[in-house]
Amino acid sequence: MVTRDELRQATHDKVMASAERLFRERGYRATTVRDIATDAGVSVGSVMTVGDKAQLLVAMFDRSIEQIHVGRRRDGVPESPSGPGGNPADRILEVVTPFLEIFAEDAQLSREYSAILTSGDHDSALFHGLADDLVREFSVVLQESGMGSKDVPVAAKAIYFAYLGAIRASAARGGVAAEQSLEDMHAVFAYIATPRGK
């Protein structure tokens, strides 16, 4: 016998799958809650129980980001293409590249996501648990590069904030993974990761 929790989860999964497919096929603005309900075979009220349109889009991005972090918890932080003793900025770029690819996959949805977060009306795991994971990953890279332990926490947070700013600026320009964006991020990461004199 199927429990209520299992039914609720099945409805949630159907709604999320339909929302993601329709957002990608039709675009965020052209998709209505009614479209999602019809596609998922549920009522509009069932969709709204999962979330409004904006919450569904935020959840879609959060889920993709979380999947990367789950893999990292299992497999560890990626190595630099130039090896363990390589440039920390190269390695940090390796850490963020999978996230950049998520945002580059659909520039229009990325802009909508960024606009929703900027409005302050909807929250994202990007600013909480997932942020903690990313700061922790940056800290590992910085520690392994030889940065002093007192500088690592501040530098890791500075890199995280620079990364968020770069994503938002790139989304506004319409291309998160554009070559110039990657070069800009690398330059900022290199500056922050450079050891400072005492």
Do 59 and 80 lie in one domain? The reply is yes
94 has a pLDDT exceeding 60: yes
How many other C-beta atoms can be found within 10 angstroms of the C-beta atom of residue 170?
24
Q: Which domain holds residue 2?
A: 1-50
Do 85 and 33 lie in one domain? The reply is no
Q: pTM here?
A: 0.77
Q: What's the CA gap between 89 and 182, in Å, rounded?
A: 11
Do 16 and 80 lie in one domain? The reply is no
Residue 130 corresponds to which tokens in the numbers above? Answer: 């997932």
Determine the pLDDT at residue 131: 81
**Single residue among 50, 73, 91 that ends a domain in this structure:** 50
Residue that is written with structure tokens 């940090």 in the block: 92
96 has a pLDDT exceeding 60: yes
Residue 177 lies in a domain: yes
Residue that is written with structure tokens 């770029």 in the block: 93
Q: What are the tens digits of pLDDT across the range 3-42?
A: 998 999 999 999 999 999 999 999 999 999 999 999 999 9
Q: How far is CA 165 from the centre of its chain?
A: 13
The total number of structural domains in the chain stands at 2
Average pLDDT in the 110-125 region?
80
Nearest to 91 by CA among 135, 144, 129: 144
